[in-house]
Chains A and B, each alone.
Chain A
């Protein structure tokens, strides 16, 4: 699960854009528009890719589902027929008109719990995504730009990437006290390393570009270079980062809630945790109503995010590279804008999305050389 955060699934094609801007020496948009501009660029880039990355019916279905979930989360108190925390019916009852999905062992209405469970799940996903993204970019930019910070930051990133996260979550959350807030904090603090590495590698790719050197030569401050040149170069992976981190957050939140680490928050994972706390669960005839609704809700939400991500961030299929990389290299070199590339570096730059961040060690080996 967890380190799957940045599952290859959908890192978009960032390289061509960089190469293009490197070749043309265009610094990209300045001012506040660069953010939207870079996002749009990333999207246009990937909208053109063939394969499952195309925006098709799945993307629309995903959007509709997400919108539906958000609506349910927002209107939960209005939609839910009962108070999800009160015993409003007989325990373990079959679905009736009063309780459309039946009741659990405490006599709480399952439909109401399901509806109320949407909000904490989405809120947790939102917070974890926002915080982890912020951290990834801070660490990635710092590690890519400030050489003195590179060593310690990379060491911390490596350490967090290598640690098996479930035992770490168990320890930290038990120590902090299981609650939804602590769960969000812990997930956010541990979810940033994968993308921090990607951001750093993009910054490293951009920082020696001709336009950055020109800007530095003209006396631009470090802050200016960071803001106007380096940050935009990393924004192409932002959509992929958002989608994958959100998906990771949903999966991890559900898993930890299932392990009973979300305190008394009412989430889908917690519903499953309560159902499985009953050792005789499967001897109860109503078990499908206890297990299936929250399971399907989690799966649907993850599918929705995945499908939306496929449309925003590009597909899994890397576009087959035209088999003439030598000529391409020569042309970029003639512009004098790209550093001399060793074959390995070249391979790293052209690698399809997945290995690019995953085989980080390989990449670092290439950097060192």
Chain B
């Protein structure tokens, strides 16, 4: 068990190093000069930079030095939590990201929690009797939902519930220009934010639900014909007991693994959905950064997102290891 955890940690540490190196090399190995756009050539000049500003940026990121030197400077910056300065906004990248992170986290956590539990429950119930109407309805609906890109689901919900029915706001994460009297009270503010985040969270929950439900359904449908479940049935156990004591513990493992694999996609979905609803989270930040060619910001966004996903996957894998060793499929 401990050896297994140590192996996992080593594996993920290696992946993390790979991510950091990738993050360093992607901008440097791709063709082109990162500051070329700033010289104002062609239509590309989204953010014209003065010659002095360009030299300053070159110096700051050590772009004139040989690659190993640049790598050292980069790693040294990382060690101090220095992710560079934003090109488009006068602020350090780490500060910008920290300021926008809570919105994305709120969206991610609520939608993941709801979609994972509800999706798993519904999927298992449907998959327990494969081929029935209930099962086919779930597979058809969830299949469609999982196939359509998140931003279209977001647009559909926006059109119906915000534009059409007017139940929810169309844009933004909270009421802007709220007068001081309206702004009073923490509760009111929380409610206001919840009201604004309701549709984006629902979008992510729906899409996530489809994924989890389909997987749980497949897992349950596969388990159903396992010989050891037939044995349990032959012993005269009730279906309830079989589902709870025998099927669920075995279904937990693939579902857990799937949760980890799925995280990157859910995160990506959250970023895109934020753009549709104008939630001021990391997605909107990244979207604006692509407009302004704010490379340091995009780089930091990618680095943090990858490291975050890796960290969660490490936790998931350790949990899976525990589950496995407890159910005795893997000794140690």
A interface residues, Cβ below 8 angstroms from B: 1-4, 7-9, 50-52, 155, 158-159, 161-168, 170-178, 247, 251-252, 254-255, 258-261, 272, 276, 279, 282, 287, 291-292, 295, 298-299, 302-303, 306, 316-318, 320-321, 323, 325-326, 344, 347, 350-355, 358-359, 361-362, 365, 369
Contact = CB atoms under 8 A, between A and B. Distances in A.
A159 B25 CA distance: 15
A4 B146 contact: yes
A57 B79 CA distance: 60
Interface residues of B, number: 84
A316 B298 contact: no
Interface string B253-284: 11001100111110111011001100000000
B289 interface: yes
B171 interface: yes
B293 interface: yes
Interface stretch (B114-122, B174-182, B185-193, B217-225): B217-225
Given A3-B262, A164-B306, A306-B143, A254 B149 contact: yes
Main SS at interface, chain B: helix
B34 interface: yes
A4 B302 contact: no
A167 B305 CA distance: 7
A364 to B, nearest CB: 11
Contact of A259 (B156, B170, B287): B287
Main SS at interface, chain A: helix
Contacts of A344: 329
Which of B44, B144, B306: most chain A Cβ within 10 A?
Answer: B306
Given A171-B301, A254-B149, A4 B265 contact: yes
Interface of B: 14-15, 18-19, 22, 26-27, 30-32, 34, 44, 130-131, 135-136, 139-140, 143-144, 146-152, 155-156, 159, 162-163, 170-171, 211, 214-215, 218-219, 221-222, 224-227, 230, 253-254, 257-258, 261-265, 267-269, 271-272, 275-276, 286-287, 289-291, 293, 295, 298-299, 301-302, 305-306, 308-310, 313, 317, 320, 324, 329-330
Contact of B225 (A2, A155, A323): A323
Contact of B215 (A50, A251, A299, A355): A355
A300 to B, nearest CB: 11
B26 A359 contact: no
Contacts of B219: 354-355
Contacts of B329: 344
Nearest to B254: A359
Given A3-B261, A163-B306, 11 more contacts: A7-B143, A164-B268, A167-B267, A171-B27, A171-B295, A172-B26, A255-B151, A259-B272, A276-B276, A295-B155, A318-B130
A251 B298 contact: no
Nearest to B211: A4
Contact of B221 (A155, A251, A298, A352): A352
Contacts of B27: 171, 175
A247 to B, nearest CB: 6
Nearest to B135: A317
A167 B214 contact: no
B264 A175 contact: no
Contact of B257 (A4, A287, A325, A362): A362
A360 to B, nearest CB: 8
Nearest to B272: A255
A279 B275 CA distance: 12
B149 A7 contact: no
